[in-house]
Copies of this chain bind each other. A is one copy, B any other.
Amino acid sequence: MEINSGDTAWLLTSSALVLFMTPGLAFFYGGMVRQKNMLAMLMMNFVAMGIVTIVWIAVGASLAFSGTGKFIGDLNLAGLMDVGLGNELFGERYAIAIPDTVFLMFQCMFAIITPALIAGAVAERMKFTAWVAFILIWSIVVYAPMAHWVWGGGFIATQVKAVDFAGGLVVHINAGAAALALVLVLGPRTGWGKQVMRPHSLPLTILGAGILWFGWFGFNSGSALGSNGLAGQAFMTTHVAAAVAATAWVLAEAMSNGKPTTLGFVSGAVAGLVAITPAAGFVNLLGAVVIGLAAGVICFLALKLKTKFKFDDSLDVIAVHLVGGILGALLLGLLADADVNALASGGMEQFGRQATSVVIAFAYSFIVTFIIAKVLDMVMGIRATETQEREGLDLSLHEEQAYVMAD
């Protein structure tokens, strides 16, 4: 297929939008930590833009998208040395009309934000050096294979026949399961449960949410890999699911706590965006509304449950990304509309495939992440000391202060 300038324009734009989501996420998370850990939180996200990009061009892209292995790609593309200005590599294969570089960069942005999502769970206590080591290893050992299984021609696509439009499995369940594993190894923040740990700047969280919503159009609609009707459909389902979920969350909240909150609204929006991610290019508008509704209500309830558990998932990665991702991946199995996308048609068969893929993604990510975390903990220690936590990670780990209002 010849390169099409319109498709390319939308994918260039989408790649930029998805890159922008990582700063957005940084602020979404950053606003929720205490001010003494603000920069450390931002840094955990931003550093993924550095480390994961390097991993991606070195081996990640190749492991995910080169070769025909069931379980893992090959290293033929390592270093991306043979990537030219055309679309020889992926044009025919995916029947897309964009340069290979654009496909690889679009995918790179997904590889970046996925580990960044995990940062919210380990906020305010994980050691920065350990975090860097973690995302470096995790991108290779967990992300790349998962991307290969689902999008690179691996067994989830070809054998399980589950579908995942823009990353319910690869991004959200993957990150959510990893968050759970990492939190279990890491333990709760010092003072957790005793001290009140309030968000230090909700406006910045809300700004981050605004950027996320904006960038998510690139994430989901860009996953059509072209500028066409399917992209339009994914754009619409994305926006509607976010709107419905945000509204549903606030309603649930108002009914349960008495007050609708701003943080609730944006949390609901993110939950809706997460849940629609795997389904965006498979469902019709009604499907999007149902998914949005489910995400808003169920993720909110998941959070209410959270207090029952003994783990400190600081910024609720599990309740939002794991629960939301599972919701979307499963509901898509029921709601997929073959008129929207011939690749999947809702029903028990597709539901079964989706359920299988969810179990596989969850189990793989959880187990491997747990092992990585344990090993890293033995090798280098993954937690900041109590004194560092007390002083705040900004000063103790980065020698910086977020806000200096003097003079």
Residues of A near any B CB (own CB < 8 A): 3-10, 12-13, 15-17, 19-20, 22-24, 26-27, 30, 34-36, 38-40, 42-43, 46-47, 49-51, 53-54, 57, 79-81, 83-86, 98-102, 104-105, 108, 128, 195, 198-204, 206-207, 209-211, 213-214, 217-218, 221, 226-233, 235-236, 239-240, 242-244, 246-247, 250, 257-263, 265-266, 268-269, 284-286, 289, 339-340, 397-407
Contact = CB atoms under 8 A, between A and B. Distances in A.
A205 to B, nearest CB: 10
A358 to B, nearest CB: 27
Q: Which 5 A-B pairs have the closest CB atoms?
A: A5-B6, A23-B210, A85-B229, A53-B243, A99-B232
Contacts of A257: 399
B206 A8 contact: no
B263 A232 contact: no
28 contacts: A4-B5, A5-B5, A12-B235, A15-B217, A16-B217, A16-B218, A20-B210, A22-B210, A23-B206, A23-B211, A34-B404, A39-B206, A40-B262, A42-B203, A43-B260, A49-B243, A50-B246, A53-B239, A57-B240, A81-B284, A85-B232, A85-B340, A200-B403, A201-B203, A201-B403, A202-B401, A259-B398, A403-B405
A217 B19 contact: yes
Contacts of A49: 213, 242-243, 246, 269
Given A4-B6, A27-B207, 7 more contacts: A7-B9, A8-B227, A39-B202, A39-B203, A99-B228, A201-B403, A262-B400
